[in-house]
Amino acid sequence: MSALIPRPRAEIAPGAVHVPDWLTLDEQRHLVVECRRWATAPVPMRAAQLPTGHRMSVQTVCLGWHWRPYSYARTADDAGGGRVAPVPDWLVGLGRRAVAAAYQDPADEHSADDYTPDAALINFYDDTAKMGMHQDKEERSDAAVVSLSIGDTCTFRFGNTTNRTRPYTDVELVSGDLFVFGGPSRFSYHGVPKVFPGTGNGDCGLKAGRLNITLRVTGLEDA
């Protein structure tokens, strides 16, 4: 991203913070390598099927807990039945650093040290993929969601907690950007109406498309 136009850290709504250029290129490259590995085994990346029968245009693979519309399980019953890989400790650590970076005030109600995401969704967007406005609400925890972007730039639409429509704010998420939403914004509707093909920097390790990694605390326990 050009340094000509500054992109300052911004609180988009209470508890929803955009931190541009948060990941280093090395961190992005490392995440891309790991995402490639996670996308193949033990559970393959797939486009989840919605209850309507339609498939999402985004492809997803999960760690910790497998998400399908609209529940979590330890096994990927809609993608071969394998047990999902665990969330590695280093990714939990990255999540803690992300929460600390977003909520810089140490007296803040959001405690980064306690943040222990037990699920990660890795989303891959090709040139035409998008994600409709939705809430992340299958979790039984109100801990923040950490979102990391790599590759092509997208429009990330961040809305309100009552419906999919206005008011919302469109935020441009660029490779390396961090977005955290917690507190009063934790259950806000959000989505990705557009990805801009060819806008990524190949140095991030991804030649085309957009990767998004969201870290979540499910609050679920094994049966």
Ligand X SMILES: O=C(O)CCC(=O)C(=O)O
Which stretches of the chain bind ligand X, using CB under 6 A? 121, 123, 131, 136, 147, 156, 190, 192, 212, 214
Nearer to ligand X, 57 or 201 (CB): 57
For residues 212 and 133, give the distance between their C-alpha atoms in angstroms, rounded to a whole number: 16
Cβ-closest position to ligand X:
212
Query: Considering the complex, what minimum distance in angstroms separates the CB of residue 130 from ligand X?
Result: 9
Query: Considering the complex, what minimum distance in angstroms separates the CB of residue 7 from ligand X?
Result: 16
CB under 8 Å to 34, separation ≥6 — which residues?
none
Query: Considering the complex, what minimum distance in angstroms separates the CB of residue 67 from ligand X?
Result: 8
Nearer to ligand X, 18 or 110 (CB): 18
Instruction: Choose among 71, 88, 192, 194: nearest CA to 136.
Output: 71
Nearer to ligand X, 108 or 160 (CB): 160
Query: Considering the complex, what minimum distance in angstroms separates the CB of residue 212 from ligand X?
Result: 3
Strand, helix or coil for residue 190: strand
Query: Considering the complex, what minimum distance in angstroms separates the CB of residue 146 from ligand X?
Result: 11
Nearer to ligand X, 112 or 173 (CB): 173
For residues 132 and 192, give the distance between their C-alpha atoms in angstroms, rounded to a whole number: 6
Nearer to ligand X, 59 or 123 (CB): 123
Instruction: Choose among 199, 211, 196, 60: nearest CA to 147.
Output: 211
For residues 182 and 125, give the distance between their C-alpha atoms in angstroms, rounded to a whole number: 24
For residues 34 and 20, give the distance between their C-alpha atoms in angstroms, rounded to a whole number: 22
Number of C-beta neighbours around residue 207 at 10 A: 9
Identity of the amino acid at 162: T
Query: Considering the complex, what minimum distance in angstroms separates the CB of residue 131 from ligand X?
Result: 5
For residues 69 and 79, give the distance between their C-alpha atoms in angstroms, rounded to a whole number: 13
Nearer to ligand X, 65 or 156 (CB): 156
Q: List Cα–Cα distances, 88 to 50, 52, 58, 97, 127, in angstroms.
A: 28, 34, 23, 15, 29
